[in-house]
Amino acid sequence: MITLDGLALPAGLFFRDEIAYTPIKQTNIVTTTGKTLIMRGTLIDGRPITITGTSTSNLIYRVDLKILAAKRGSIDPMDLVINGVTYKVKFDLSSTEHFVAKPLWSGTVALSDDSPFYIEKLMFIEVEE
């Protein structure tokens, strides 16, 4: 189960980059003598958290999607809980794809608050309090 500041997100979403992340940043530089200089450091915050899903597994009503969309402007960190683990996050507004949701049915149908949407992608950055 995934929640964002208490708002339950659809059950079909998953934490795409959970395993791929490492808190170590490394830069390799080849010196003029031909030796490789390796510089490493531990990141304090900035972990990318990408939540994704498919159109058949993560339906959300428009009224709840509007609540979720309003959280993008939050100045304070939000609690993102994924399977019992809490992360302090903000939306990754540096990416144009930080919030991708689409109506289940396309066309000229008027959208109401009970219109179904699906969340394709939510991108967050973990921050230190």
Residue 114 binned pLDDT confidence (cut-offs 50, 70, 90):
confident
pLDDT at 51 over 80: yes
- For residues 85-90, give the mean pLDDT: 95
pLDDT at 127 over 60: yes
pLDDT at 47 over 60: yes
8 A C-beta contact, residue 123 and residue 49: yes
Nearest to residue 120, comparing CAs of 45, 76, 70, 65?
65
Dist CA 110 CA 129 (whole Å) = 42
HSE (CB half, 13 Å, CA atoms) of 99? 14
8 A C-beta contact, residue 115 and residue 62: yes
- The mean pLDDT value of the chain amounts to 88
pLDDT number for residue 109: 63
Look up residue 58 and give its amino acid. Answer: N
Query: Hey, what CATH topology would domain 2-126 get?
Result: Elongation Factor Tu (Ef-tu); domain 3 (2.40.30)
- For residues 35-50, give the mean pLDDT: 90
Alpha carbon distances (Å) from 28 to 37, 40, 41, 70:
6, 9, 12, 41
- For residues 101-122, give the mean pLDDT: 79
Nearest to residue 68, comparing CAs of 49, 91, 92, 45?
91
List the domain boundaries for the chain.
Answer: 2-126
| Pick from 40-44, 82-86, 91-95: least confident | 40-44
SS3 state of residue 72: helix
pLDDT at 5 over 70: yes
- Continuous H helices in 54-102: 62-70
What pTM was computed for the model?
0.81
